[in-house]
Copies of this chain bind each other. A is one copy, B any other.
């Protein structure tokens, strides 16, 4: 059965650089009313770059929301009107300096569909060539290299905590093993 929710009204609360928050009143299928707190977000990409030895280049950066540095696959936000693949090429180069001969689409996903409209696109980058990283102003991170199989073990041992990174690693592993 399709349980839609009808918008009655929408109140803008905040429009920032990253998030846009609005609170909507909705009518549920039983006629009752409820509020939905919704974050709009432009979305982004993540790229898992795997070289010919099976090594993966990740980034380690401070995440203010958690007050800790975490290991993630290279990633970034979509710019206005930017195609996800172009964003993947740009972010991989900016954060790690790598370009890739081939980008394989690993799918898209919603990090928090209960309250957030963010959509992320994932790519596997193969045929890597090293160039020079060129970070945005105010962006600080270290590039860290791990064998893909080590990253899979880290995922299973709960040593990696970023959702997009976990998805990119486990999907890339299955893809490269020819598992569907």
Q: Across the interface, which residues of B come within 8 angstroms of A105, CB to CB?
A: 158
User: Would B19 and A110 count as touching, CB distance under 8 A?
Assistant: no
Binary CB contact string for chain A from 165 to 176 against chain B (1 if under 8 A, 0 otherwise): 011001100110
- Are A66 and B117 interface neighbours, CB within 8 A? yes
A153 touches which one: B26, B66, B138, B180 (CB < 8 A)? B180
Total chain A interface residues with beta-carbon distance under 8 A: 73
Does A108 count as interface, using CB distance less than 8 angstroms? yes
Within 8 A of B (CB), among A49-79: 61-66, 69-70, 72
A residues apposed to B, CB below 8 Å:
1-5, 13-14, 16-19, 21, 23-24, 26, 28-30, 32, 34-39, 41, 61-66, 69-70, 72, 105, 107-118, 120, 137-138, 140-142, 152-153, 155-158, 160-164, 166-167, 170-171, 174-175, 179-180
| Chain B positions within 8 Å of A36 at CB level | 64-65
**Chain B residues with CB below 8 A from A29, complex form:** 140
CA distance A138 to B27 in the complex (A): 10
Lowest 8 CB-CB distances: which A-B pairs, in order? A107-B158, A111-B111, A3-B140, A170-B170, A63-B113, A16-B37, A3-B62, A65-B117
User: Given contacts A65-B116, A138-B28, is CB(A17)–CB(B37) below 8 Å?
Assistant: yes
Q: How far apart sit A174 and B158, CA to CA, in the bound complex (Å)? A: 13
A64 with B111, Cβ < 8 A, contacts A13-B13, A141-B3, A167-B166 known: no
